[in-house]
Structure 1
Amino acid sequence: MLYRLFIFFAVLITTDTVLASPVDKDGWLPFTSRSGVVTIDVEFEGQTRKAIIDSGSEINAINAVYVDLNKDKLSFGDKIRLQGVFGEETKALVNAVPVQMFGQRFELDALAPAQLGDAILLFGLPFLQNFIVQFDYPHQKMRFLPHSLLDMKKLANVELKKNRNRNLPAIKVETIDGKSFWLTLDTGNSGGLVVSRQFAKDRGWLDNRGLLKHSALGAVHSGNVESFNISYLKVGPFEMENVLVTVPDEGVVMNVKDSYRTSSRSAVSGAATKGLLGYDVLKHFVVTLDCKNWRAHIAVP
């Protein structure tokens, strides 16, 4: 069961047990940034395969191509409505999927079939909320720490909240005009900022800019997008220049913002997000993320 996997990681990182694994003495293990997406190695059906670590996913997932090819031998459970950046689909969750990590074998349940490229699995918030997770982007390594090890209330140096309408981390950023807004902190997003075309238009970001057209892969479908740079972005105490922004092409619908609406009679906690914050910004930092208590710290190595 996935619960047992969570416990195993906590024990692995906090003891001196010697296992045949890439974890060093301080608990760091290497990750690969594949087109900006964080992946680690797992053993799946006797082969070394990639698993995505995705703070922008409310679910854990399995490669949809693999599921289609192995329908007859897989165990399916409840159905869910899976929302990706491009579109939505109803999917049956996959149960009892064997995987080996750090020399131990587990069976994973409640995996949603999704487009994962050449990765076989994706670990989202149901996995990450069991730890404080550190991503050292410049040195391409990460580690999982128990919540008791760090006082994130004291260490936090960026504003982080739960997304108002989804169980995802929302981070506050500021642009050159001094205006701030919230974005979903997404380690599975290979871009910098991903926002709606209307949001970019309202801020004047589309005026007189050279737009680069290309395609992007979502969990459900793919779609056409355009990218450009803005001159300034502030994240926590750090100021950045020439930050990459991606918007959907004309007529393309992307699910990147919180669509929640409320009335004056109801009070809702959390942050209404305007888009996603991903690799092209995070790659400069060591990011410490506590998605259980919604706190974060960023630093340069």
Structure 2
Amino acid sequence: MQEWDQGNPLNNIENNKNNHKTSLLYTNSKIDLEIFKGFTAGVNLFKQRKSEDISEFRASTTQGGRQDMGYARRENRVWDKDLMELTLNYSKTFGKNDLKLLGGYSYENNLYQSVGASNRGFISDDFEFNNLGLGENLFSNDVNSYKSRNKLISFFGRINYSLSGKYILTATIRKDGSSKFGTNHKWGYFPSISGAWRISDESFVQKLSFISDMKLRVGYGVVGNQEGIDPYKSLALYGRGDEYFDNGKWHNTYRYAQNDNPDLRWEQTASFNTGIDFGLYNNRLTGSVDYYVKKRAIYYMYIMFLYHPICTQQCLPMLVI
């Protein structure tokens, strides 16, 4: 063993490898078909795949690989996202009235998979990370795999109405269902409504020559959020427990790792805003003034509960005032 070069930076750089390759694939297809005048159907298909290939090797002659007599690891991770969206649009203008209707359905499937293995104690450094089976010191946690999936289904609708381009009203409603949440609260309802008044089109404002454009806006809406929540946080889970020795061999055990939580629900944020857009002196001076109020209605925290003989955790919703 060449102990003299264990701390040699050049030797470590030349004989250690850490490769990380990332690949991305995006595809998107959209079709719009006019069924009859003013009525259009649309289909949107989206596919995204991200993959990571990780390869790590520490030679037995280097500082990081000396103790293990060489160390090698391979890991592959894949994220798949599939989205299908179906929409129906209707548009009609009659006199000074303009009406637009939208209804739709979307289905989103997210899948994550990973597999990895590592080993140590290689009789030769020549194979690097390309033949893990040659290692002679495999630990129980050196081989791993994981898979998780979550789905999101949405129904949505929107109404846009305008009278002479002066009075504008928009209303939307969404019904979203996520597999991440508990059995009691998988679905959330998220409405919004907004209106605008183009004051500059009114006769009493048109007398003011310095005002080129002016519009008042007001809106209120509720949105839902599921980001940051583990796909299986609402479910009772089993995990690996302690090992025990029997008949000359170590054996794994399994235990409860997490309680179920049927009340895990959507985080909701309600917002109100009002504002004014203006243009003065033939729009030489333009700007906007806005006022916002936001209130997050629900958030989550994880609390540990003791259940004999293990300790598990549960995520509880809490109201914000």
Shorter chain as normaliser: what TM range?
A: under 0.3
Q: TM-score, normalised by structure 1?
A: 0.19
Q: TM-score, normalised by structure 2?
A: 0.18
User: Which protein is richer in strand relative to its size?
Assistant: 2
Higher-RCO chain (CA-CA 8 Å, sequence separation at least 6) = 1
Point out the structure with max Rg over C-alpha. Answer: 2
User: Which protein is richer in helix relative to its size?
Assistant: 1
